[in-house]
Amino acid sequence: MINNQTVSLLGPSNECGVDNNIDDNALLCDPLHHNGAVSPPIYQSSLFTFSSYQQMLNRFRGETKDALYSRVGNPTVRVFEQKIAQLERAEDAIAFSSGMGAISNAILSQVQSGDKIVCIKHVYPDTYRFLKGLCKRFSIKVVFVDGGDLEAIARELVGARLFYLESPNSWMMQQQHLSAIGKLAKAQQVTTIIDNSWASPLFQKPLTQGIDIVLHSASKYISGHSDTVAGVVASSQANIDLITRHVSPYLGAKLSANEAWLLIRGLRTLKLRMKQHQQSGLEIIAKLIDCKQVKRVFHPAVVPSNCDSLLGYGSLFSFELADEIQVETFCNALRIFQLGVSWGGYESLVIPAQAVVDQEAEFNSAKDFGVSSRLIRLYVGLENVQELWRDLQQALMAAQTSRTDAASTDQA
């Protein structure tokens, strides 16, 4: 241990977060479908017909929930939504064609012009742009607050309509104390939304901690194979109705039946994959904090906090390179880790903050929140963990040598 950091494992009682019957049922136990199929059929149909005038009328009056039109709902998508609702201990869920579809629909269902939104710092960059750009255009006031500072949160919640959380947050992996925040927000009648993508629906259950609405970029762990872009929101029936009645039909970002089928398939292995991600991620982190080329690691298992909502650890984290390590050489030297955005699939990925801070983008959250350009975001996938470690080791060595070489060349 070089940097005074240690890896703290969650207690054994917490480990049962992944050994839960309700979760098992949601992940695995599908009723048999047509012809005894164990996997639901893909209802590749834009519309669904009615056998009589009366049946159509009943549907239009809202007296039945029969499938009508796939922009509004589709039976394959419904299977996915019900599984997520069960996993998140929610009354209902609604799925979208991206995580941003879930985020924008959830936020817009709760606010109107003149309202104030409080959001934690280091929120996912496109959520930041949505709030700073689009929401402000509709005269919605947005304030960013340190998600670890309960006093500052309590102050900002006064007069607010919505508090948007992401725990752990992007880049810094800082957790928020969900139950404490849930109480503060309820006292002020502020609705809380949380992006729970990092933990997956298995490793954190925010609705059981007093948070009102939970959402995911299902493009990540839920899909698990980097072949789908999708999102989902889970909450009380009243909150889901606000989305389905007033927002989602008009923004039109509903999930398709094909994508839903891929996500249902992804869910079947979610538990196994998350266990492996946790194990591989912690193994790599334990080695990195022992490494002189690394200044600090940012991951909930390493950064001390009194938050207790995580039931397991995701494998996305960041670390700061020591001054003598060249960021570009390190990235180019990697052989298994690939330079790429997103995460949650099989393959391990890396993003240097330097490239993000330098990008030409309106409302650059990494720049605005002061992310160090020596930070590297690492996603540990499902490849052999020894090979992954060897890859990181050789890239760190290569980046160190090249800097020393450059210095000695300069002196010559």
Ligand X SMILES: Cc1ncc(COP(=O)(O)O)c(C=O)c1O
Q: Decide if residue 167 touches ligand X (CB under 6 A).
A: no
Q: Decide if residue 219 touches ligand X (CB under 6 A).
A: yes
| Residue with Cβ nearer ligand X (276 or 342) | 342
Q: Which of 231, 281, 300, 312: binder of ligand X (CB under 6 A)?
A: 231
Q: Which of 5, 110, 192, 217: binder of ligand X (CB under 6 A)?
A: 217
| Nearest residue to the partner ligand X, using Cβ | 99
Binding mask 196-215 for ligand X (x = CB under 6 A): -x------------------
Contact (Cβ atoms closer than 8 angstroms) between residue 117 and residue 142: yes
Q: Which of 70, 74, 98, 174: binder of ligand X (CB under 6 A)?
A: 98
| Residue with Cβ nearer ligand X (319 or 389) | 319
Per DSSP bridges, beta strands 316-321 and 375-379 are antiparallel
Count CB atoms within 10 A of the CB of residue 245: 11
Q: Which of 156, 195, 259, 320: binder of ligand X (CB under 6 A)?
A: 195
At its nearest, how many Å lie between ligand X and the CB of residue 232?
A: 10
Q: Decide if residue 342 touches ligand X (CB under 6 A).
A: yes
| Residue with Cβ nearer ligand X (67 or 131) | 131
Q: Decide if residue 100 touches ligand X (CB under 6 A).
A: yes
Candidates 72-80, 96-104, 146-154, 368-376: pick the segment binding ligand X (CB under 6 A): 96-104
At its nearest, how many Å lie between ligand X and the CB of residue 99?
A: 2
Q: Scan residues 271-300 and list those touching ligand X (CB under 6 A).
A: none
At its nearest, how many Å lie between ligand X and the CB of residue 14?
A: 22
At its nearest, how many Å lie between ligand X and the CB of residue 155?
A: 26
φ, ψ dihedrals at 92, nearest 5°: -160, 170
Q: Scan residues 117-136 and list those touching ligand X (CB under 6 A).
A: 124
Contact (Cβ atoms closer than 8 angstroms) between residue 27 and residue 270: yes
Angle, helix 150-157 to helix 178-187, in steps of 10 degrees:
30
At its nearest, how many Å lie between ligand X and the CB of residue 215?
A: 8
At its nearest, how many Å lie between ligand X and the CB of residue 218?
A: 7
| Residue with Cβ nearer ligand X (109 or 127) | 127
At its nearest, how many Å lie between ligand X and the CB of residue 197?
A: 4
In sequence order, what E strands does 218-371 have? 231-235, 294-298, 316-321, 338-339, 349-352
| Residue with Cβ nearer ligand X (229 or 310) | 229
| Residue with Cβ nearer ligand X (104 or 109) | 104
Residues with Cβ within 8 Å of 202's Cβ and at least 6 positions away in sequence, in order, are 17, 18, 23, 87, 270, 271, 274, 311, 312
CA angle 79, 81, 86 (to 5 degrees): 95
- Alpha carbon distance 391, 365 (integer Å): 30
- Alpha carbon distance 217, 232 (integer Å): 7
Q: Scan residues 345-384 and list those touching ligand X (CB under 6 A).
A: none
Tokens in use for 343?
Answer: 């995460």
φ, ψ dihedrals at 205, nearest 5°: -125, 75
- Alpha carbon distance 72, 94 (integer Å): 10
**152: Cα within 13 Å, side-chain hemisphere:** 12
Question: By three-state DSSP, how is residue 189 classified?
Answer: coil
Q: Decide if residue 259 touches ligand X (CB under 6 A).
A: no
Q: Which of 95, 229, 289, 378: binder of ligand X (CB under 6 A)?
A: 229
- Alpha carbon distance 300, 5 (integer Å): 12
Candidates 74-82, 92-100, 255-263, 366-374: pick the segment binding ligand X (CB under 6 A): 92-100
Q: What is the dihedral of CA 17, 20, 24, 26, to 10 degrees?
A: -80
Residues that bind ligand X (CB under 6 A): 98-100, 124, 166, 170, 195, 197, 217, 219, 229, 231, 342
